[in-house]
Amino acid sequence: MKDQLKNLVGQALSIFIQKHGLEIDLPEIQIERTKDKTHGDFACNIAMMLAKPAKMNPRQIATDIVEALPTSDVVTQVEIAGPGFINFFLSAEASQQVVKEILSKAEKYGQSQIGKGKKVQVEFVSANPTGPLHVGHGRGAAYGSVVSSLLNAAGFNVHREYYVNDAGRQMDILGTSVWLRYLQACGETITFPSNGYQGSYVLDIAAELKQTFAEQFRHPADAVFDGVPADEPQGGDKELHIDGLTNQAKQLLGEANYRIVFDKGLNAILGDIRDDLAEFGTEYDEWFSERSLVESGEVEKAIEQLKQAGQLYEEKGAWWFKSTDYGDEKDRVVIRDNGQATYFASDIAYHLNKYQRGFDEIIDIWGADHHGYIPRVKASMQAMQQNVDQLKVLLVQFAVLYRGAEKVGMSTRSGEFVTLRQLRDEVGKDAARFFYVMRGADQHMDFDLELAKSQSNDNPVYYVQYAHARVCSVFRQLTERGHAWDKATGEQHLDRLTETHEDALMTMLAKYPEILETAALNHTPHLLAHYLTDLARDFHTYYNAHQFIVDDNELSQARLTLIEAVRQVIQNALTVMGVSAPESM
């Protein structure tokens, strides 16, 4: 409907420009829904936008535009309000037309081509494969996958990506943790490091390692700890202690055997993450390996490019990136004094790789704790002479899970956390995904476990799904009574839908394409969740107030046609959210 009104105003504008002989740049025509129905259904502010460049009174501009508007079956009345707003009142036929459009387009209703031809990469979750995904990761997974689906519905060519941190110190700590647990399984007396990964999943991986390779990787405990700095409980430094053990693992095992142990931990956890996300309804087009950047020499090339551009300097044996030149709070190390590249060095190479793949827009979805990382990454791309406006970083606040009044911790190192799989098993995929995106990603979220499990109107996902199931139940009742839905008759008699509840539903259905497009362009899936709860509320109110299967066949078929349109829109929106639309509950 907005497009139709824009077209009408556009035609009137052409006549207005010609009439006054104006040579000005025309602003974009904006059509918005009115908040007060007494002011019409839609309003346009083009007259105020033209007042300054046209050097005319906005009300006079509005008057000229209204006089030049072509006649239209969808508009019954046009009024000028305030300083020059043009208010449009729609015909009943225009409101009813949306029902026919929904049934005609079916699952494609609401989709647009505003992003046609644009390639967008969305990278999300990208948790280190050092342990199972926890409920905190779940919010990023739900948000990223729904943002991707929204962009896809808006016509963008979306590439979903998971960046696998399969290189670097944390992965070495995981590999070392697996080896130490393996040694314990072989009978060695090992004091496990305070900074090792202590979750039970490490024990499981170590047990599989021993079952497959017997005692091939066994070394005496005395040799393992020989020369290793003391751990924190013994008055030492836990970081130096774990790094010392990692060095021992590499030396005692040798490169080939160390890689076997390392990959055993990596592949076990990464495989679990892949399965976990797939079961959560989150799929990727690519799992991009950090190790591939290192082994292909891309990290080294990126660092060399920065050196040649004069963007790095050496100090105390380390190489630093001049990120303060680009607004960062301090310069950042890219090569440590021991010659090892930092995570930041890999991130520079990875983001440069993204640009080189030709995406029109690059979206990184990070946890809110990575906020300080944004300036340095953008600075590095600016130093690489890339367009930083193409890179958008969206932050997701943590979701805190409550069991009653008790908050549950989420430390992957200690192993004390609730996994995403455990959450899914308890409340279900649908509730988890819906709850995760109900609030803006930049807002803190308390996940109410008991509410998510409840079958009540207070549970938004249940409320929405129940609306869909209720429509399906009406059609089952219709069949049981020996009747059938006649779409043609229903569409022919939509003018019989004169109740206030019916008008409210048709207005709400017409808003769906606007909500979908707005949510896509602004990366705000919570708008879609709120729209669904509003649509479900209007339907439940209608359901409780009126009968759909009545003796008056024309009225009955019209109402059935309307609620089928409601069902279709609920299904479309839930599909975008990755939530099921059950036919019975």
CB 79 within 8 A of CB 23: no
Is residue 417 assigned to a domain?
Answer: yes
Is residue 368 assigned to a domain?
Answer: yes
Instruction: Based on the fold, state whether residues 462 and 354 are members of the same structural domain.
Output: no
Domain end, chosen from 453, 477, 501, is at 453
- Enter the DSSP assignment of 39: G
pLDDT at 413: 46
CATH assignment at residue 192: 3.40.50.620
Is residue 179 assigned to a domain?
Answer: yes
Q: What pLDDT digit, counting tens, does each position of 98-134 carry?
A: 999 999 999 999 999 999 989 999 999 999 999 899 8
pLDDT at 377: 96
The rounded percent of the chain whose pLDDT value lies above 90 is 86
Is residue 67 assigned to a domain?
Answer: yes
CB 420 within 8 A of CB 138: yes
Instruction: Based on the fold, state whether residues 239 and 305 are members of the same structural domain.
Output: no
Asked if pLDDT for residue 481 goes beyond 50, the answer is yes
Instruction: Based on the fold, state whether residues 229 and 336 are members of the same structural domain.
Output: no
Helices (H), 80-168: 92-105, 135-153
Instruction: Based on the fold, state whether residues 309 and 406 are members of the same structural domain.
Output: no
pLDDT at 39: 87
Is residue 289 assigned to a domain?
Answer: no
Instruction: Based on the fold, state whether residues 308 and 372 are members of the same structural domain.
Output: yes
Is residue 356 assigned to a domain?
Answer: yes
Instruction: Based on the fold, state whether residues 481 and 495 are members of the same structural domain.
Output: yes
Closest CA to 453 of 436, 434, 431: 431
- What is the average pLDDT value for the chain, to the nearest integer? 94
Tell me the C-alpha to C-alpha distance, in Å, between residue 176 and each of 10, 189, 198, 253, 308.
Answer: 68, 15, 11, 11, 37
| AA letter at 394 | L
Range of the domain at 308: 296-381
Instruction: Based on the fold, state whether residues 190 and 316 are members of the same structural domain.
Output: no
Tell me the C-alpha to C-alpha distance, in Å, between residue 356 and each of 298, 365, 557.
Answer: 12, 20, 56
Give every CB contact of residue 43 below 8 A, 6+ residues apart in sequence.
31, 32, 33, 34, 81, 85, 86, 87, 88
Instruction: Based on the fold, state whether residues 330 and 473 are members of the same structural domain.
Output: no
Burial grade of 254 (CB within 10 A; 0-12, 13-18, 19 or more): exposed
Closest CA to 424 of 385, 453, 465: 453
- Please compute the mean of the pLDDT values over residues 45-67 and round it to a whole number: 94
Q: What pLDDT digit, counting tens, does each position of 276-320 carry?
A: 999 999 999 999 999 999 999 999 999 999 999 999 999 999 999
Instruction: Based on the fold, state whether residues 210 and 340 are members of the same structural domain.
Output: no
Is residue 18 assigned to a domain?
Answer: yes
Q: Concatenated DSSP letters for 499-535?
A: SHHHHHHHHHHHHHHHHHHHHHHHT-THHHHHHHHHH
Closest CA to 521 of 2, 115, 143, 146: 115
Tell me the C-alpha to C-alpha distance, in Å, between residue 293 and each of 164, 263, 373, 393, 491.
Answer: 11, 17, 20, 21, 58
Closest CA to 123 of 284, 349, 359, 271: 284
Report the number of distinct structural domains present in the chain: 4
pLDDT at 412: 46
CATH assignment at residue 38: 3.30.1360.70
Q: What pLDDT digit, counting tens, does each position of 196-242 carry?
A: 998 899 999 999 999 999 999 999 999 999 999 999 999 999 999 99
| pTM confidence score | 0.90
Asked if pLDDT for residue 486 goes beyond 50, the answer is yes
Instruction: Based on the fold, state whether residues 217 and 277 are members of the same structural domain.
Output: yes
Q: What pLDDT digit, counting tens, does each position of 389-425 carry?
A: 999 999 999 888 777 666 765 444 444 568 899 999 9
The rounded percent of the chain whose pLDDT value lies above 70 is 98
3-class DSSP assignment, residue 384: coil
pLDDT at 404: 67
Instruction: Based on the fold, state whether residues 62 and 128 are members of the same structural domain.
Output: no
Is residue 583 assigned to a domain?
Answer: no
| AA letter at 293 | L
Identify the band that residue 353 occupies on the pLDDT scale cut at 50, 70 and 90: very high
Instruction: Based on the fold, state whether residues 376 and 520 are members of the same structural domain.
Output: no
pLDDT at 91: 86
